[in-house]
């Protein structure tokens, strides 16, 4: 842990001076796995380099089994005002199949604790787990609605090469949920959460009014951001960089004075515009054609008019007046649309 924090400190030296930011997000790993003293060191490091704007959002991810009263109180004292809990499910059998180590009881305790300390709680739920039924997923959604977090993220289980799930499927020990059932699960989430008063504002995200994730919206609207740590991405002044994903390689490189960057590319104006188009269409609000053209300098018809026209005709996109957005049909297959726009 100390070597990891030493590496983060070394990487942040690249900032050269203190920066003012609107949002901070610690996650994509689980910061609450750090001991209290080392978590304080991480927060001190961020405070040294980043000054928070007046109306800031500061999120920390946590797993239910590592989220204690002492941890919650420390986060409150240090100005964190949003917590994201990796709940995944309220079904004990499903948690086991997802290889999660926390219990349902710990999930309820963590949610209660977070709600007693923070006014902004987000929870992650996963569907299409091995062996899951539509009834199990419906039960998860009902429980989440009853607990009433301010924000919900729902993700379908994906099989990525090199993971336990990928290997088990390859060897026939695990069967992926049928695509039609996965679509039913996703649509059930949309309908259930909208009925409960949540805004479906991005493909996988739902929020009470005024509780959309400001940090993630910065990504989707093309704003720049810094990122630090193994596998971290940053987008600064049109340049995108990605750090090496291996923690040991990341640490080794930084502690001998080398860069942790594994990939780097400077986007052309057209690439930047196309990326902004795709990210903007991930939001249920879609994009304003006039705002897009003013921001990027590209005429949307010339940039991607043929693809957009085809998707409108096929019912995957909706267009009215100045705005283009995904249709309900398009939400179900959105990832397959993006290559034609990029």
Question: How far is the C-alpha of 42 from the C-alpha of 36, rounded, in Å?
Answer: 10
For 171, the 3-state DSSP assignment is coil
Q: Give yes or no for residue 312 having a pLDDT over 90.
A: yes
Q: State whether CATH 3.40.30.10 applies to domain 63-220.
A: no
Residue 164 has what pLDDT? Answer: 62
Question: How far is the C-alpha of 261 from the C-alpha of 266, rounded, in Å?
Answer: 14
Q: What is the pLDDT of residues 99-122, one digit of tens each?
A: 888 999 999 999 999 999 999 999
Question: How far is the C-alpha of 286 from the C-alpha of 278, rounded, in Å?
Answer: 9
**pLDDT confidence of 131, banded at 50, 70, 90?**
confident
Residue 161 has what pLDDT? Answer: 67
Domain ranges of the chain: 63-220, 285-341
Residue 174 has what pLDDT? Answer: 65
Written as six digits, the tokens of 155 are 């993700």
**pLDDT confidence of 91, banded at 50, 70, 90?**
very high
Residue 224 has what pLDDT? Answer: 92
Identify whether the C-beta of residue 220 lies closer than 8 Å to the C-beta of residue 283. Answer: yes
Written as six digits, the tokens of 207 are 């929020």
Residue 163 has what pLDDT? Answer: 62
Q: What is the pLDDT of residues 159-201, one digit of tens each?
A: 666 666 655 656 666 677 889 999 999 999 999 999 999 999 9
- Lookup result for tokens 């977070």: 114
Residue 304 has what pLDDT? Answer: 95
For 29, the 3-state DSSP assignment is coil
Average pLDDT on 42-71 reads 96
Sign of torsion over alpha carbons 335, 303, 291, 310: negative
Q: What are the helix (H) ranges across 83-213?
A: 92-97, 104-117, 134-147, 164-170, 179-195
Residue 155 has what pLDDT? Answer: 94
Written as six digits, the tokens of 289 are 């054609």
Q: Which of 148, 140, 110, 132 is nearest to 30 (CA)?
A: 110
Average pLDDT on 133-141 reads 97
Q: Which of 82, 40, 42 is nearest to 61 (CA)?
A: 82
Parallel/antiparallel/unpaired status of strands 19-26 and 50-62: parallel
Question: How far is the C-alpha of 150 from the C-alpha of 207, rounded, in Å?
Answer: 6
Instruction: Report the chain's mean pLDDT, rounded to a whole number.
Output: 94
Residue 159 has what pLDDT? Answer: 65
Q: Give yes or no for residue 29 having a pLDDT over 90.
A: no
Sign of torsion over alpha carbons 196, 282, 132, 105: negative
% the chain with pLDDT above 90? 88
Parallel/antiparallel/unpaired status of strands 199-202 and 323-326: unpaired
Residue 203 has what pLDDT? Answer: 96
Residue 136 has what pLDDT? Answer: 95
Residue 177 has what pLDDT? Answer: 87
**pLDDT confidence of 28, banded at 50, 70, 90?**
confident
Residue 23 backbone class (left: φ over 0; alpha: ψ -120 to 50; beta: rest) = beta
């Amino acid at each position: 842990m100390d070597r990891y924090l030493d590496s983060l400190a070394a990487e942040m030296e690249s900032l050269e001076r203190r920066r003012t930011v609107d949002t901070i997000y610690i996650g994509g790993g689980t910061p609450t796995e750090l001991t209290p003293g080392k978590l304080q060191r991480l927060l001190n490091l961020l405070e040294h380099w980043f000054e928070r704007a007046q109306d800031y959002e500061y999120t920390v991810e946590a797993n239910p089994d590592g989220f204690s009263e002492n941890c919650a109180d420390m986060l409150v004292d240090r100005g964190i005002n949003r917590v994201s809990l990796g709940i995944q499910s309220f079904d004990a059998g499903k948690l086991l199949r997802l290889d999660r180590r926390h219990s349902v009881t710990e999930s309820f305790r963590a949610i209660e604790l977070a709600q007693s300390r923070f006014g902004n709680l987000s929870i992650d739920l996963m569907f299409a787990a091995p062996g899951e039924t539509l009834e199990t997923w419906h039960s998860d959604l009902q429980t989440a609605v009853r607990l009433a977090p301010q924000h919900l993220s729902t993700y379908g289980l994906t099989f990525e090469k090199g993971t336990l799930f990928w290997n088990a499927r390859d060897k026939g020990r695990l069967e992926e949920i049928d695509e039609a059932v996965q679509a039913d699960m996703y649509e059930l989430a949309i309908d259930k959460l909208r009925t409960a008063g949540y805004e479906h504002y991005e493909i996988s995200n739902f929020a009470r009014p005024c509780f959309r994730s400001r940090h993630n919206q910065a990504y989707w609207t093309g704003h720049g951001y810094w990122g630090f740590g193994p596998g971290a991405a940053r987008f600064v002044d049109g340049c995108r960089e990605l750090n090496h994903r291996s923690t040991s390689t990341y640490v080794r490189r930084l502690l001998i004075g080398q860069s942790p960057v594994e990939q780097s590319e400077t986007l052309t104006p057209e690439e930047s515009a196309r990326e902004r188009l795709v990210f903007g269409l991930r939001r249920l609000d879609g994009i304003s054609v006039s705002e897009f053209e003013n921001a990027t300098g590209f005429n949307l018809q010339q940039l991607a008019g043929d693809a957009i026209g085809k998707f409108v005709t096929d019912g995957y996109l909706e267009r009215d007046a100045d705005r283009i957005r995904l249709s309900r049909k398009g939400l179900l297959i959105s990832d397959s649309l993006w290559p034609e726009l990029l």
